[in-house]
Structure 1
Amino acid sequence: MTQILLGGLTAEEFLAEYWQKKPLLIRQAVPGFTGVVTKDELFQLARDEDVESRYVTHDGRHWEVIRGPQKASDLKRKKHPWTVLVQGLNLFCPDGDALLHRFNFIPQARLDDLMVSYAIDGGGVGPHFDNYDVFLLQGIGQRRWQIANQDDRSLVEGAPLKILKDFRPVHDWVLNPGDMLYLPPHWAHNGIAIGECTTYSIGFRSPSYQELAQQFLGHLQDSLELDGIYADPDLKLQSHPAEIGDAMIDRVAEQLTRITWSREDVRSFLGSYLTEPKPHVFFDAPDEPLDFDEFIAACATDGFSLDARSLFLFSNGQFFLNGETVEVDESDRKALCQLADERRLPSLAGISGPMQEELHEWYCCGFAFPSGALMD
C-alpha cells in the first residue's frame, strides 16, 4: 500500500532518498482519489465556529485573509480568485483521519494534521515556503504547482500572508486527481487552481528548538526540588546598598548548577508535549455513557478505537495520552502499543481488568469509544 502511495518506492527508499532532501512528484499516488469531503461538506465546516478556517482572496495586487467562521456569501464570490482552507479535517471526518494515518511511515510524533483547500479558478495563497514537510494530494480538478529551492526568502511587506517577494520557480507541474507532490521544509511553492479544485495537505510538526527548550524548562518546574534557602552569613558591608553584589551572584549561580535533567526527563517531557491537544481541541463525553459491563460487551463485538482528537504515544514502556502519563502494567504493554500504532484494537481480550477499567474511563471522557459507535 505504501509503495503505491510513494510511486513504487518503499518507505525505506523514500526516507533515504527524499525525506527532508528533495521534492518528489508522484503520479496517481492514490488512484481514483477525488477527496474525502464534498464541496458542500467543506463549506459547512468552514462556517463552523469550532473549525479553524481561512478565506484568502486576491485581485492580482492585494491579498485579503478572513479567519473563520466563514460567511456563506463569501463562499459564492466570483469577482476575484479565492480559496478557503480548513485545518484539522482529520478531527471532523473519519475518512480524513484514515487518510492522514496512511502516512504512518513517518512517526506519529511528527504527524500534525490534514488540511484541505478549495479554490476557484486562479485561487491560491501565493508563493511561500513552510518550515515543515508536506504532502500535497490533489482532490477534484487540477492545480498548477511551481516550486523553487531558493535562498532569497524575503517577503512582501504589509501582506497578510507570508508571500515571497521574488519567487523564481525551477519546476512547473500540473497535478490531476490522485497525484501528489512531496516538498521538504523551506522549498518555496505556489499552487494555482486551474478551474475548480481541492488539495489535501498532510503536514508534519517541526517545532523550533527555542520552543522545545522553553516548553522543557516549563516541564521541569513540576519536578524541580532545590532544598535550602538563600543565606549569606559571610555578608560584607557594601559601598553601594543598591548594588547586586558579586558574592550574591556567585552564590545563586552555584545553586542553579544543581538543576540537572536526565534522558528519562526528556522522554517524559516529549511524551507530554507531543500528545498535548491543541488549544482549540475539546473532547465530547457521551451523553449517556455505557456502564462498564455494557462497554466491555460493545468492545467484544466491535473493538475499541481512539477518538481522532486523541494523541497516544509510547516510549520504552511508558505511555502518554493527551498530555498525561498513563500507567500500564507490563502484561498490557503489547496491546497498548498496538492501540497506539493502529489506533484501534479488535477486542479487549487479554487486557487486564484494571486496564479495561482505565479504557472505560477514557471512553467516559470522550478519548475513545467502542468502534461500533462510528456507525451509530
Structure 2
Amino acid sequence: MIIESNDERGSVNRSALRRLTGIDAASFAERHWGTTPKFTRSAELSGSFEDLMTVDAVDELISERGVRTPFVRMAKDGRLLEKNKFTGSGGFGAEITDQVDSAAVLSAFAAGNTLVLQGLHRLWPPLIAFTGELVRELGHPVQVNSYVTPAASQGFSPHYDVHDVFVVQIAGSKRWTIHSPVHRHPLNNQPWSDRRAAVERHADDSPELDIVLEPGDVLYLPRGWIHSAQALGETTVHLTIGVASFNDYDIAHHTLGALQEVEGLRAPLPAGWDPTDSEAVLPHVRRVLGDMRRALDELDRDPEALQRITERIASRYDELVRPEPVRPLRSVAQMGALRGQDSIRLRDGVIARVVRTPESAAVVLRDKTVSMPPQCADALELLLGGSPCRLDSLPGLDTDDAVVVGRRLVREGIAVMAGE
C-alpha cells in the first residue's frame, strides 16, 4: 500500500513521492503505479531538485570522494568501458586500484562515454534521506543512480528495466523515446537482453512518447517500458530512481517455499527414471500438481503456516531495505547523557517483533535477537508501535530501569533519540 505522507513538514521533509509526481499518493497509485508512464514538467512540481544533485556534486563525487567500482561505470553506444580505463590507485595510503581516476574520467567523458554513478542512495547524504522517505511512502525497495551524458550522445541502446524508474532531469536537456512493453511486468530474472530481437523491432515502431526532459522535469516509467535517451546540445545529468516493486510472484514464491515442509513432496523420484523423456516425466508433473493443490488447500486452512509466509516476505523486504543510518559517536554520547525525561523512537526501517516468554522479553530482528527481562515487554511493544516514547513514562518500568533499557536499545541500533 502506498502511504500518503504529510506535506506540512517543511520544504526539506515534504513528501518525496509528491515531489516526483506533483499529485497525491492515492492518485498516483490509481492512475500510474506499475501500469502507465507519467511525464511531469517542472512547472507542475513544488520545487527543483538542486538539493539532491547538481553538476558540482557530480564533480565532487568524482574528484574528492574516493568513489570505487562498482559504484561507478562508463559506457558508450550501449557498451561498457573497461574499468581500468577510468580507475586506478589512489596513491600512498590508498593503493586500492579500483578507485575513480578523475583525469581518466575526464578523458573518457570527453571521448563520448556516459558516466554512471551507482548506489547514490548509499553514498550521497541528500539522496540517503530522500530515498528513505520514498521507501516509507511506497513500501518497496529504492535505489538511485545518476547518468551523466556528453553532448549529443546516447549512453545505452533501447532497452527496458526490470524495476520501475523515476527519471529526474538535473542539468541539460535529454530526448527520451518511450515504447510500450514487449513483455509486461518483467521479473528481475527476465532482462531485456533475453528479448533483444523483440525489443529492437518494437523500438523501430512509432513511440508512445517522444519527449524532451528539461531541468526539473520528471518521467515515471513502469518496469518493462522500452526506452532510450539522447543528450541534446550539452552535457546532461539525470537521476534514475529505481523501485524494485514486490509483486504477486514474490508471494507465490514464498508460498511455494512453504511446501518444503510437506514430506511427500520431498520424496525422491523413482530410481532409473529418464528426466529427458517427456512422456515419462509428464505423469509425475501431473501427480505433483495434484499434491501441490491439496497441500496449498491445507496451507490455506493453517493460520500459523500463513503467518510464517508473511514473515518470510517481511524478512526478504528487510534484506533489501536499509534502516536509517545512525551516527555512532553521537549515539554513544547520547547514551551517556540519557535521562528519564528524554524520548526515544524506533529507528526508521527497523523491522522487529517482541517475543514474550516467562524468562524474557526478546526483540527479534532478522540478524539478531536482543533479550531483556520479562517486565520490559509492554515497554518494548509500545516502542515498536512507532511513536516516540518518553522513558519515564514507559509501562512496567521505573525511571532508572527505563533509562537502562533505552541505552540498550540505542546501543543495539533499534532505537534513536526522538527528534533525530
Alignment TM class, shorter chain as reference: 0.5 to 0.7
User: What's the CA shift for 1:19?
Assistant: 1.4
1:306 corresponds in structure 2 to 347
**Is the contact between residue 273 and residue 323 of structure 1 (CA under 8 Å) also seen in structure 2?**
no
Residue-by-residue CA offset, 1:102-135 (whole Å, 9 max, x unaligned): 4357432x13222222222224323211232221
Among candidates 26, 33, 41, match of residue 60 of structure 2: 41
- Give the structure with the higher percent helix: 2
**Is the contact between residue 216 and residue 269 of structure 1 (CA under 8 Å) also seen in structure 2?**
no
1:294 corresponds in structure 2 to 336
Alignment of 1:57 onto 2:76: yes
2:143 corresponds in structure 1 to 113
2:93 corresponds in structure 1 to none
Alignment of 1:186 onto 2:215: no
Distance 1:63 1:214, change over 3 A: same
Alignment of 1:125 onto 2:156: yes
Pairing of 1:110-259 with structure 2 (within 5 A): 110-121=140-151, 122-151=153-182, 164=200, 166-167=202-203, 168=205, 169-194=207-232, 195-206=234-245
**Is the contact between residue 125 and residue 191 of structure 1 (CA under 8 Å) also seen in structure 2?**
yes
User: What's the CA shift for 1:44?
Assistant: 5.6
Alignment of 1:24 onto 2:38: yes
Distance across 2 between alignment mates of 1:23 and 1:185: 10
Distance 1:304 1:96, change over 3 A: farther
Aligned to 2:332, the other structure's residue is in SS state coil
Distance 1:165 1:362, change over 3 A: farther
Q: Which amino acid aligns with 1:40?
A: D
Distance across 2 between alignment mates of 1:53 and 1:322: 30
Distance 1:356 1:216, change over 3 A: farther
Distance across 1 between alignment mates of 2:71 and 2:48: 28
Distance 1:148 1:126, change over 3 A: same
Q: Which amino acid aligns with 2:134?
A: F
**Is the contact between residue 271 and residue 320 of structure 1 (CA under 8 Å) also seen in structure 2?**
no
Q: Normalising by the residue count of structure 2, what TM-score does the alignment of the two structures yield? A: 0.60
**Is the contact between residue 165 and residue 222 of structure 2 (CA under 8 Å) also seen in structure 1?**
yes
User: What's the CA shift for 1:141?
Assistant: 2.6
Alignment gaps of 5+ in structure 1:
231-240, 340-344
Among candidates 317, 341, 358, match of residue 274 of structure 1: 317
Distance across 2 between alignment mates of 1:255 and 1:150: 36
Q: Normalising by the residue count of structure 1, what TM-score does the alignment of the two structures yield? A: 0.66
Percent identity reads 21
**Is the contact between residue 136 and residue 202 of structure 1 (CA under 8 Å) also seen in structure 2?**
yes
Alignment of 1:96 onto 2:134: no
Number of residue pairs the alignment of both structures matches: 336
Identify which range, 180-189 or 330-339, moves more after superposition.
Answer: 330-339
Aligned to 2:146, the other structure's residue is in SS state strand
**Is the contact between residue 146 and residue 172 of structure 1 (CA under 8 Å) also seen in structure 2?**
yes
Distance across 2 between alignment mates of 1:158 and 1:184: 17
1:235 corresponds in structure 2 to none
Among candidates 5, 19, 23, match of residue 9 of structure 1: 23
User: What's the CA shift for 1:181?
Assistant: 0.8
Aligned CA-pair RMSD: 5.1
Q: Which amino acid aligns with 2:116?
A: L
2:187 corresponds in structure 1 to none
Distance across 1 between alignment mates of 2:82 and 2:227: 22
**Is the contact between residue 346 and residue 383 of structure 2 (CA under 8 Å) also seen in structure 1?**
no
**Is the contact between residue 299 and residue 371 of structure 1 (CA under 8 Å) also seen in structure 2?**
no
Distance across 2 between alignment mates of 1:358 and 1:126: 55
Distance across 1 between alignment mates of 2:115 and 2:256: 38
**Is the contact between residue 144 and residue 192 of structure 1 (CA under 8 Å) also seen in structure 2?**
yes
2:386 corresponds in structure 1 to 338
Q: Which amino acid aligns with 2:79?
A: W
Distance across 1 between alignment mates of 2:391 and 2:199: 51
Distance across 2 between alignment mates of 1:176 and 1:299: 50
Q: Which amino acid aligns with 1:306?
A: R
2:94 corresponds in structure 1 to none
2:100 corresponds in structure 1 to 71
1:237 corresponds in structure 2 to none
User: What's the CA shift for 1:94?
Assistant: 3.0
Identify which range, 180-189 or 114-123, moves more after superposition.
Answer: 114-123
Distance across 2 between alignment mates of 1:220 and 1:357: 43
